[in-house]
Amino acid sequence: MLQTLAHTRPVFTLAAVMLFGLAIGSFLNVVIARVPARRSLWRPRSACPGCGTAIAWHDNIPVLSFLVLRGRCRACGMPISWRYPIVELVTAAAFSMAYLAFGPTPEFVAAAGLLSALIAITVIDLEHQLIPDVITVPGVLAGLAANLATGRVSWLDSAVGVVLAGGLFLVVILVSGGGMGGGDLKLGAMLGAFLGWKVVLVALFVGVVCGGALAIVLLASGRSGRKDPIPFGPFLAAGGAVALFWGDRIVAWYTGGFGP
Ligand SMILES: [Zn+2]
């Protein structure tokens, strides 16, 4: 069914993927707001944090409602965070990229799942300086299961990825005595499970380079002291997304260019 649709109506299929991404992005906003507070994702329904008025379904349509309401609660006029439409749009864009890269395959489902987790983790780490175990620990198992199901990465590569990425973070944590946390370790292990041990090294490399570059810019411009913690989760998540889409090619280029 999907195959036929993709063949005959690629534009409609991509539009459907975008709408699906917007809807999942809306759900990720709930995850981002509630998981750090340890609140249920399912109950109660969303309400304005200012006045407590329950948000009607027609005021809860991704992006559109934010525009119609001009970014304010209908009942009390309290501003709604820009985070809501941004997360929805980023998720729609990420799902579209995954669909263009993987097509209507189980790999697309695995990629969409990983990207959703990375988006939620990025925003939660930026706002709270923590990476919730309730996302990364099941994420390790989801990554192993996804590769068992799709065969994209062998189960051994996937399992070695968990141990290698987790182990590298463990060494950094032990050597640095802080600065890097257990949340980063579990996020690294999750990426290892999804990407396998070779491609997760690309993710870690991209994350370290981007994080290091920003740290140098902030230090040099005097906007950040040497002791100010910079959350590493968003960089690791960005590295994971880059590696998901281009990791295989980067590994092939690297081993082909410099390997035996
Ligand atoms: Zn309100």
Question: Which pLDDT value is given to residue 254?
Answer: 86
Ligand 1 is an ion; its neighbours by CB within 5 Å are 48, 50-51, 73, 75-76, 78
Q: Any idea where the domains of the chain sit in the sequence? A: 1-104, 132-260
Q: What is the CA(62)–ligand 1 centre distance, in A?
A: 18
What is the DSSP code (8-state) at residue 54? B
Over 60: is that where the pLDDT of 239 sits? yes
What distance separates the 2 farthest-apart alpha carbons in the chain?
66
Average pLDDT score over residue span 171-175: 89
In the reported structure, the alpha carbon of residue 50 is separated from the centroid of ligand 1 by a whole-number distance in angstroms of 5
Distance 63 CA to ligand 1 centre (A): 18
Q: Which of 5-14, 162-171, 202-211 has the lowest mean pLDDT?
A: 5-14
State which amino acid sits at residue 224: S
CA of 69 to the centre of ligand 1 (A): 12
Average pLDDT over the chain reads 91
Supply the pLDDT for residue 258. Answer: 56
Least trusted range by pLDDT, from 93-102, 129-138, 249-258: 249-258
Q: What is the pTM (predicted TM-score) of this model?
A: 0.91
DSSP calls for 57-80: GGG-STTHHHHHTTTB-TTT-PBP
Position 8 scores a pLDDT of 57
Rounded Cα gap, residues 124 and 260, in angstroms: 42
What are 69-98's pLDDT values in tens digits?
999 999 999 999 999 999 999 999 999 999
**Is the pLDDT assigned to residue 9 strictly greater than 90?**
no
